[in-house]
Amino acid sequence: MSELRAKAKDFDSRLYEKMQVILPSIGDLELYEFGYALKNLCPPQGWDSIHPLPGREIETLVSQRGFYEAIHTRRIAGDRIVLDEVIQRLTQMLIVGLLDGLYSVDWVNEHFYFDIRAFLFFHRTRYYTDEVLSHFGGKPALQFAAKQRQLEHLQEIGYREFSHANAEIDQAFIDCVVKLVSARGTPILITLAGPTAAGKTEIMARLLAAFAAQGKRITTIEMDNFLLDRDIRGENPMGVLTSHFELFKQCLKDIRQGKRVSIPRYDFINATSSHDQTGILKPGCTPLVVEPADVIFIEGNFPFQLPEISEAIGIKVVYLTDDPIRLKRKWKRDIDFRKKYDPTFFVNRYFKTQFLRGDDCYAPQMRCCDIVVDTTGAALWLTPQIAAILDQS
Amino acid sequence: MTQSGIINNPTLFSETLFEKMKKLCPALETLEMYEFNYCMENVVPDTGWDLVKIEPVAAIEKRITDIRFYKSIQINKKTNGSVELDTQVADLTRTLFLGLVTGAYPPEWIDAHFYFDPRGFLFFARTVYFTEKVKAHLRGKPYMTFEPRQRDFERVQGVGYKDFKAANKEVDKCFIRFVQKLIAHKKTPILLAIAGQTAAGKTEIVERLTNSFTSAGQHVTSIELDNFLTDRDYREAHGIDSEGKQALHFDLLQQALKDITQGKKISIPRYDFINATSSHDISGNLKPDGVPVEVEPADIIFMEGNFPFLLEEIVDLIGIKVMYLTDDPVRMKRKWKRDMDYRKKYQLNYFRNRYFKDQFIMAQIAYIPQLEVCDLAVDTTRAAIWASAEFATILDAK
């Protein structure tokens, strides 16, 4: 018994050293705190029962949708939601493989990041594919000092530190949008897409304030209002078939002509639209009225790259923050402050959706948007066309 | 703006509250207004602030010092599978928020009776551990004090062990020195018992004491009181509370403590926590398949357990009785990190309910009574060490 315990203790302390190379802030924990966290991951038959796959196979595994689609976010055992086995197994393999020397620290860091609070490895989503890079002419238009690096050692990130780190890139982005709007003229539609907790709401508020200060009339349209009843669309993501697409196209057309428009209203509590499937107002329902405006922001994760609407949109932006930073922001915002989710459900879902969402929403939008703001890299990416407009103005 | 104006204006209510709360709880200063509003989403009553009642301060004071209030808190009530925050716990914070905003409760009064835990986003009643009786037993004032460095924790939401250890550095070092001096005076073998609240830092200080003895060439061992528990089936069948001597093989415990303090090797019962059975039958005989715990003679024997000083028949066998205490707000912050973030041990509301309930009840039934009879009390939060008259005299000697 004591021999087993000594062996377990030795495992803990060797891993504790190794993990500090992967992530220096592990050193903020005492060894025994590290041991507490590790205990939840230790398989019932001991660490010897874990057989890590070769690195190549792991790479293939984590780059396939099926791997993420199979994750159960809400499986219950006893009276608690449990961590998905696939997620647990991945970290177990990485831990054992790291200690056995099967995986190098560099390889692990290249493909994964470790989140202390979850005490798990997560796959790094690759947002900058070759296609995206070539769309933006291979390099960012503006590059600042990447101050989010200073947040890497923190276990939790509040908005104050976050906005402080982004001060330069955010200002450059706002200046750029203001210039583009005066070059292109109003009314103009602007879309701002980006993963959860990237900082969309906050930057949107600042953009609105910048235009309001110029005396421009501003408004926002929430894409979710165009959703069909949930009974009709099921769990499918926002798209042509799950929304009042014709009404949406008409709305974009009218508002660009400076007209007052009337759009569907979505009731989040009952998950129903004010309009029926054919786009006619249901009896007893009231639509939303959007007053004419100079600058119209469209909020939500709609596939704006669709050719039928893409041209109606004056400026298409993707606002990005790296996965590890967003996860830390969400721990504070959604778990500590809002107490919105069960932490295990939250971890399962983040692991699952960061990949799938990237694949479904952000990758396609990045391939065709006008501007990418990368807050973590402190880089502003502009398409050659947009860069040319800005150069002239 | 009139009072009803504030109550019916959520934005103004929130802004006024935020300003006042930052003064009561400096950790909130790191939040942006909108983050504070996120926290408020769980607190704002569905029916608005209109229906929340301002209670007279005397009524609140009476309630929070009455053990029945805490006993009535339901820690594990579930709706749709998840544990609810007890309504009394939730309502107390609402009442205090409202009174703070309207000015019905002065901030000084709130601060005197409550502390606000920023991560739980709740007010908890402050427990008074050093009652008049406790102070009288411990000569009315601390024997030694240092700079209270835990004050920095007021500005954070969670406390990890490294920061905790660093803040307690001086008081811990002095405490270890005192214990060494007392042992030298009292001679070995000696029984040393350290009691204290959950997350006060007991495990860590015992480990450091052990290291200091071992490096001085002394032999150290420990006896866990829990090993003396009788079969749970028996206790439940006879309605025996798990906290008194009736729950233990008490004769065996008394004999074991006598023997080990005379330098003898002892063989004690072993309690199996998984099956909740003892290695010994109820008359104290080893069961046919039972395997006892063998404890080799040692110079210093740590006694581990929650209520060691409350067992009258054995209390005189304990050479040094120490209470190791940390204030409730700091322990809560340690538990957020240790028990919630690292160990992932509890559901959020179960944890909040239980802490609210237990901190008061445990203080009354376990810690205050033990403080009244202890030899040394370490208060890590105020960086103070208190001593009984007898022990102060020993420490005074050259």
Mutation target for B interface from A339, A340, A341, A348: give the one with most B CBs within 10 A. A339
Domain encompassing residue A29: 2-123
Mutation target for A interface from B164, B342, B349, B352: give the one with most A CBs within 10 A. B342
Nearest to B341 among A39, A117, A339 (CB): A117
pLDDT of A2 reads 63
Q: What residue spans define the domains of chain B?
A: 3-125, 132-219+299-396
Determine contact: B88 vs chain A, CB below 8 A.
no
Q: How far is A301 from chain B (nearest CA, A)?
A: 22
Mutation target for B interface from A36, A153, A344: give the one with most B CBs within 10 A. A36
Q: List per-residue pLDDT tens for chain B, 398 residues long.
A: 456 688 889 999 999 999 999 999 999 999 999 999 999 999 999 888 988 999 999 999 999 999 999 999 999 999 888 899 999 999 999 999 999 999 999 999 999 999 999 999 999 999 999 999 999 999 999 999 999 999 999 999 999 999 999 999 999 999 999 999 999 999 999 999 999 999 999 989 999 999 999 999 999 999 988 899 999 999 989 888 877 788 999 999 999 999 999 999 999 999 998 889 999 999 999 999 999 999 999 999 999 887 888 888 899 999 999 999 999 999 999 999 999 999 999 999 999 999 999 999 999 999 999 999 999 999 999 999 999 999 999 999 97
Q: How far is B60 from chain A (nearest CA, A)?
A: 27
User: What ipTM does this complex have?
Assistant: 0.88
- Strand, helix or coil for residue B107: helix
Decide if A33 and B342 are in contact by the 8 Å CB cutoff: yes
Q: How far is A156 from chain B (nearest CA, A)?
A: 10
Query: And the tokens for A263?
Result: 């759009």
Q: What are phi and psi of A354, to 5 degrees?
A: -60, -35
Mutation target for B interface from A33, A162, A337: give the one with most B CBs within 10 A. A337
Decide if A342 and B82 are in contact by the 8 Å CB cutoff: yes
Determine contact: A160 vs chain B, CB below 8 A.
yes
Rounded to a whole number of angstroms, the distance between the first and last alpha carbons of chain A is: 76
Task: Of B187, B48, B133, give the one whose Cα is nearest residue B364.
Answer: B133
Determine contact: A348 vs chain B, CB below 8 A.
no
Determine contact: B343 vs chain A, CB below 8 A.
yes
Nearest to B32 among A28, A160, A339 (CB): A160
Decide if A29 and B162 are in contact by the 8 Å CB cutoff: yes
A274 and A192: one domain?
no
Where is the domain boundary, A123, A154, A184? Answer: A123
Q: What pTM, to 2 d.p., does this model score?
A: 0.90
Mutation target for A interface from B341, B343, B351: give the one with most A CBs within 10 A. B341
Decide if A32 and B38 are in contact by the 8 Å CB cutoff: no
Neighbours of B19 (CB within 10 A): 12
B87-102 and B348-362 are packed helices; what angle lies between their axes, rounded to 10 degrees? 80
A132 and A117: one domain?
no
Nearest to B342 among A36, A158, A338 (CB): A36
Decide: B295 and B216 in contact? Cβ < 8 Å. Answer: no
pLDDT of A1 reads 46
A119 and A33: one domain?
yes
A chain contacts of residue B346, beta-carbon cutoff 8 Å: none
A289 and A185: one domain?
no
Helix (H) or strand (E) holding B196: none
CATH 1.10.150 fits B132-219+299-396, yes or no: no
User: In A131-166, which positions are buried (b, 16+ CB within 10 angstroms) versus exposed (e)?
Assistant: ebeebbeeebbbebeebbeebeeebbbbbebbbebb
Nearest CA in chain B to A159: B32
Omega before B189 within 30 of 0, i.e. cis? yes
A130/B360 Cα distance (integer angstroms): 61
Decide: A263 and A253 in contact? Cβ < 8 Å. Answer: no
Decide if B343 and A40 are in contact by the 8 Å CB cutoff: yes
A chain contacts of residue B32, beta-carbon cutoff 8 Å: 158-160
Number of structural domains chain A divides into: 3
- Strand, helix or coil for residue B117: strand
A232 and A260: one domain?
yes
Task: Of A198, A222, A185, give the one whose Cα is nearest residue A324.
Answer: A198
Where is the domain boundary, A123, A155, A176? Answer: A123
A chain contacts of residue B204, beta-carbon cutoff 8 Å: 32
Nearest to A33 among B157, B160, B347 (CB): B160
B chain contacts of residue A117, beta-carbon cutoff 8 Å: 341
Nearest to B119 among A79, A158, A336 (CB): A336
Extract the residue ranges of chain A whose pLDDT is less than 50: 1
Neighbours of B4 (CB within 10 A): 11
Decide if B161 and A37 are in contact by the 8 Å CB cutoff: no
Determine contact: A10 vs chain B, CB below 8 A.
no
pLDDT of A378 reads 96
* Single-letter code of the amino acid located at A105: V
Nearest CA in chain A to B34: A159
Q: pLDDT by residue (tens digit) across A59-108?
A: 999 999 999 999 999 999 988 899 999 999 999 999 999 999 999 999 99
Where is the domain boundary, A268, A293, A318? Answer: A293
Decide if A37 and B39 are in contact by the 8 Å CB cutoff: no
B chain contacts of residue A158, beta-carbon cutoff 8 Å: 30-32, 35
B240/B246 Cα distance (integer angstroms): 7
Place of tokens 């405006």: A293
A28/A17 Cα distance (integer angstroms): 12
Give the B window 12-51 contacts with A, CB below 8 Å.
30-32, 34-35, 38-39, 41-42
Decide if B42 and A338 are in contact by the 8 Å CB cutoff: yes
